[in-house]
Amino acid sequence: RRYVAGGQCKSRAKLEGKVVIITGANTGIGKETARDLARRGKVVVACRDIAKAEAAASEIRAETGNQQVIVKKLDLADTKSIREFAEKFLAEEKELHILINNAGVMLCPYSKTADGFEMHLGVNHLGHFLLTFLLLERLKQSAPARIVNVSSLAHHGGRIRFHDLHGEKSYNRGLAYCHSKLANVLFTRELARRLQGKSQRRAEFTANALHPGSVYSELVRHSFVMTWLWKVFSFFLKTPWEGAQTSIYCAVAEELDSVTGQYFSDCQPAYVSPRGRDDETAKKLWSVSCELLGIQWD
């Protein structure tokens, strides 16, 4: 059980006066990340399901005594919702210090977002890509700031299929998830490179990705087989609290103040697949993502 649990964030860093956004924080590792960070500072819970988000936030407020756990509606499968969220947040909050791109979908039957993107790519990558773009200036103004992207070990099985990004020619929901998690790693790598290039001090902005581990959560709800397997082998899976440790580590650990563009697992650096280290693919994905979203991000 101790081996399965993996690493644990030891940092006691406080976030007084700081603001954190966590996407998908109404359940699973997102909720546990919010619960921990609410003991340190202000947390914005950004979720599609407002009722579930309010229930989670109410529970966290009661447990931590922190009334600064705010719920905002955010549907990453709809760019209109993402823009509305960003517009409201920027109007209400003058600072943003940590953005945790945590929300995700897994093993979805073939479907598309409101904008016509394949669901895994649209939610896991493009939605967070747009959200980060819209909030980046506020992060810069609040520096030092951190961007944390929740990826997965599954990125090892991914490829960026530029000829069929939306799975219209061929689709496998397991591979679609892997592709989107590889996109998270490549986005982090290219974002870190660009932020480093424009920053006088390397520590001002950091962007890192992570693998939370195999976690017993609702993420596999779209697959009956995986749901059954998760129940049978639950003893060998991390709890959501254990799965949240690396997200928390990347968000607050003092030793990561000047670390950027890296990939972590169990609160330590982890191996990235060769495709995840391909700078040319990362640059091309950045360009294609901007084109799909209709934005200019130089």
**CA–CA distance from 116 to each of 40, 47, 161 (Å)?**
39, 21, 17
Strand 268-269's sheet: what is its strand order? 69-73, 41-47, 15-23, 98-101, 145-150, 205-211, 263-265, 268-269
How many Å from the N-terminal Cα to the C-terminal Cα in the chain? 46
Contact (Cβ atoms closer than 8 angstroms) between residue 82 and residue 65: no
Q: Which of these is catalytic: 110, 171, 177, 263?
A: 177
Q: Does the annotation count 177 as an active-site position?
A: yes
**CA–CA distance from 169 to each of 107, 118, 163 (Å)?**
18, 12, 9
The residue type of 147 is I
Count of CB atoms situated within 10 Å of the CB of 235: 8
45: helix, strand or coil: strand
Count of CB atoms situated within 10 Å of the CB of 298: 5
Which residue shows structure tokens 């600072």? 95
Contact (Cβ atoms closer than 8 angstroms) between residue 145 and residue 98: yes
Looking from the CA of 85 toward its CB, the CA atoms found within 13 Å total: 30
The residues carrying an active-site annotation are 177
